[in-house]
Amino acid sequence: MSTPGPTDPPIRFGVIGLGFGRCHAKVLSTLPGARLVAVADLDPEAQGIDLEPWAARLGARGHRDGLRMIAEEELDAVVVAVPPAARRRIVEAAGERGLAVFLEKPFAVDDAHAEEMTALFDRFPGMPVMMDFCLRHLPAVRRLRELLDGPLGEGLVVNADLVLPRDDSPSWVWDTAVGNGIVNENTCHLLDTLCCLLGEPVAVQAAGGSFLGSPLEDGVAVTLRFASGAAAVLTGGALGAQALRTPAALSVYTRHGQARLTGHDHMFGDLEWATADSADPERESWPLPGRGEISAAALAHFVAALRAGTAPAPGRDAGVLAVRIAMAVRAALTSGATVKI
Ligand SMILES: NC(=O)c1ccc[n+]([C@@H]2O[C@H](COP(=O)([O-])OP(=O)(O)OC[C@H]3O[C@@H](n4cnc5c(N)ncnc54)[C@H](O)[C@@H]3O)[C@@H](O)[C@H]2O)c1
């Protein structure tokens, strides 16, 4: 397939769920190669959104029901930004209309649900699906991935930290039938980033618990072992202080050197690295995306892949894997044992 040029028709999007999804809608309303056609939310008032004028300001039509939006609008792709338990019928409707899907993390509530969702997606084998693991699309993370394939050599030992502020999570996150905890719902970003950098994980050990009286674990210290022999320790959960703006940090010791990613607002923007024999470190920085634009690079990749006819990444396998690790962390916390993934 030839590479599309600027005159090729844009990818027509609908966005379902206007909590975090409102950020996607805003990004898509100006993203080259994309056109925001419609948005949907069952209860926009609860999100503080006056639906019709809000949608019109983005050049889109407003719907309440996402299924109706899929049935009535001419779309190529849909952003599914509703909590994981509410997606089955949306994915089914999208598949039946031949739409591509940009799917919010987490992929599923738990392993059984991940299997159900996998079987559902399997009914639509040609359907392009991308998980919104937006951290791996940040330029600093992409550059680190490149360095691991180049002068730094493979990652051996990692220390990583990404902990949300304590009062940042919607209440459904703590419901075992909807979000199933902050590790599944948010630390999954770090789990995916580690898999992107280190490959296939094979075993988990974990300590932590519910320190602030949350219904499920709200702070975890996790050790992950990878098929390559690499090891990672990470802290996750929701114990942070708002004023520190969710600092993000990841140190990796590699075959030929060392690198450190840092940032804030739940994103990585700065990278320092050196090979074992270099006299001075390299320092590279990228401006962090603006408020609500954390997924802009991921969406740009999705649009570019659809226009080029290639598979967007990460696909749903990465989503299934992150759920599997999150559930293994829970099992390791409960049993105190090492849990195979
Ligand atoms: N990638 C990220 O960094 C990031 C950040 C925040 C949230 N998220 C993910 O986005 C998803 C949504 O989270 P949220 O915080 O926006 O939740 P939310 O509860 O604030 O919003 C979800 C919205 O979806 C709507 N909805 C549900 N079913 C619908 C349907 N069939 N049709 C139309 N609207 C429907 C609800 O009315 C609600 O307004 C979650 O999976 C969450 O993990 C990702």
Break the chain into its structural domains and give their ranges.
11-134+295-314, 135-289+323-340
pLDDT by residue (tens digit) across 247-280?
A: 999 999 999 999 999 999 999 999 999 999 999 9
CA distances 106 to 65, 110, 161, 192, 217, Å, are 22, 9, 19, 10, 17
Question: What are the tokens at 176?
Answer: 């075992």
pLDDT for 312: 98
Measure the CA–CA gap between 9 and 77, rounded to whole angstroms.
13
Surface-to-core class of residue 305, CB atoms within 10 Å of its CB (0-12 exposed, 13-18 middle, 19+ buried): middle
Measure the CA–CA gap between 31 and 26, rounded to whole angstroms.
9
Greatest C-alpha distance within the chain: 62
User: What is the whole-number distance in angstroms between the Cα of residue 24 and the centre of ligand 1?
Assistant: 11
Question: So what's the architecture of 11-134+295-314 in CATH?
Answer: 3-Layer(aba) Sandwich (3.40)
Residue 170, ligand 1, Cβ within 6 A: yes
Residue 180, ligand 1, Cβ within 6 A: no
Measure the CA–CA gap between 15 and 194, rounded to whole angstroms.
28
Residue with CA nearest ligand 1 atom 34: 41
Residue 129, ligand 1, Cβ within 6 A: no
Helix (H) or strand (E) holding 203: strand 201-209
Task: Give residues with Cβ within 8 angstroms of 250, minimum separation 6.
Answer: 158, 159, 160, 161, 190, 193, 260, 261, 262, 268
Q: Return the best residue to mutate from 15, 104, 141 for the ligand 1 pocket (most ligand atoms within 8 A of CB).
A: 104
Closest ligand 1 atom number to CA of residue 295: 1
pLDDT for 6: 57
User: What is the whole-number distance in angstroms between the Cα of residue 42 and the centre of ligand 1?
Assistant: 11
Residue 71, ligand 1, Cβ within 6 A: no
pLDDT for 168: 74
Percent helix, strand and coil across the chain, each to the nearest 5: 35, 25, 35
Closest of 158, 198, 280, 281 to residue 271, by C-alpha? 281
Residue 185, ligand 1, Cβ within 6 A: yes
**Are the folds of 11-134+295-314 and 135-289+323-340 the same?**
no
User: What is the whole-number distance in angstroms between the Cα of residue 152 and the centre of ligand 1?
Assistant: 38
Q: Which residues pair with 78 in a beta bridge?
A: 14, 101
pLDDT by residue (tens digit) across 115-140?
A: 999 999 999 999 999 999 999 999 99
Residue with CA nearest ligand 1 atom 32: 66
User: What is the whole-number distance in angstroms between the Cα of residue 182 and the centre of ligand 1?
Assistant: 15
Residue with CA nearest ligand 1 atom 4: 20
3-state secondary structure (DSSP) of residue 318: helix
Amino acid occupying residue 297: A
Measure the CA–CA gap between 155 and 243, rounded to whole angstroms.
32
Positions of the chain with pLDDT under 50 = 1-3
Q: Can you give 221-263 as a three-state secondary structure string?
A: EEEEEECCCCEEEEEEEEEECHHHCCCEEEEEEECCEEEEEEE
Surface-to-core class of residue 340, CB atoms within 10 Å of its CB (0-12 exposed, 13-18 middle, 19+ buried): exposed
pLDDT for 1: 38
CATH 3.30.360.10, applies to 135-289+323-340: yes
Measure the CA–CA gap between 287 and 336, rounded to whole angstroms.
41
User: What is the whole-number distance in angstroms between the Cα of residue 306 and the centre of ligand 1?
Assistant: 23
Residue 62, ligand 1, Cβ within 6 A: no
Residue 206, ligand 1, Cβ within 6 A: no
Task: Give residues with Cβ within 8 angstroms of 233, minimum separation 6.
Answer: 158, 159, 160, 221, 222, 223, 224
